[in-house]
Amino acid sequence: MRRKLAAGNWKMNGSRAALAELDLIARESAACDLDTLICPPSLYLSEALTRAEGTSLHIGAQDCHFETSGAHTGDISAAMIADLGASHVIIGHSERRADHGEDSEDVREKARAALSSGLTAIICLGESEDQRLACNTLEIIGGQLAISVPDASTAANTVIAYEPVWAIGTGRTATTAEIDEVHDFIRARLIDRFGEEGAQMRLLYGGSVKPANAAEIFATDNVDGALVGGASLKAEDFVPIIKALDAS
């Protein structure tokens, strides 16, 4: 049985004051039988961890370097994230791939660093609109999956997030048929490569998940949760998504 995961990616949003939302999210989702996670900007990780202490809310980072330490100005390592007490790190988000030129090899190296530091890696995959229109979606996803996911991945240390680039922050959501097709494809590939571990690895959908569409998305086979951007910033949006996942 795969445990469901509702993950929020705050991206470069929020403030110290906004961390009060974590208290609400933790309190209002306490009775739900699933994992909840918020990934705030790294500057706020420490304070977020303090706020989440004693609750079931997990705190994670949005990226890490593949080295443990060294001359990499502005970067943070997986070891540092783990040292703080955070549990997860998002790797290979399409905004990192686009804004920072990260390719799937970089993503794999970062994921390796995350796993060896004891973090759970949330590895993101997704096709662009042009790739979907050219009917290349499964080929792109298959290629990203093969390279980005390290051999050391297990169901316990790795989560895969399917995030069609054209659905992120656009208000456009993939249809349940589109999500179903890609998630089934990812599941089959994971089973081919990792056997039972691949069958148990959690698959999240991300891209304009909102309270209004969450229940429909969570009813899709092989969707074990969501990676939520904009709608994770406020408890009043994120809590209904958590509850819809719990009810699914």
Can residue 145 be called a binding residue for ligand PGA (CB under 6 A)?
Answer: no
What is the spatial distance between Cα 198 and Cα 190, in angstroms, rounded to a whole number?
4
**Which one among 206, 222, 235, 243 touches ligand PGA, defined by CB under 6 A?**
206
165 binds ligand PGA (CB under 6 A): no
Using rule CB under 6 A, residue 174 touches ligand PGA: no
Q: Which of 6, 52, 227, 235 binds ligand PGA (CB under 6 A)?
A: 227
Quick one: which of 106, 163, 224, 237 contacts ligand PGA (CB under 6 A)? 163
Task: Give CA 53 to chain center in angstroms.
Answer: 21
Q: Is 93 a catalytic residue?
A: yes
Q: Is 230 in the site for ligand PGA (CB under 6 A)?
A: yes
**Min. distance of Cβ 99 from ligand PGA in angstroms?**
12
- Strand locations in the chain (E): 5-9, 35-39, 57-61, 88-91, 120-125, 158-162, 202-206, 225-228
CA–CA distance, 184 with 222 (Å, rounded to integer):
6
Which residues face 125 on adjacent strands? 162
Strand pairing of 202-206 and 225-228? parallel
Q: Which is nearer to ligand PGA, 150 or 230 (CB)?
A: 230
Residue 71 three-state SS:
coil
Residue nearest ligand PGA, CB atom distance: 229
Q: Which residues bind ligand PGA (CB under 6 A)?
A: 9, 163, 168-169, 206-209, 227-231
**Active-site residues: which are they?**
93, 163
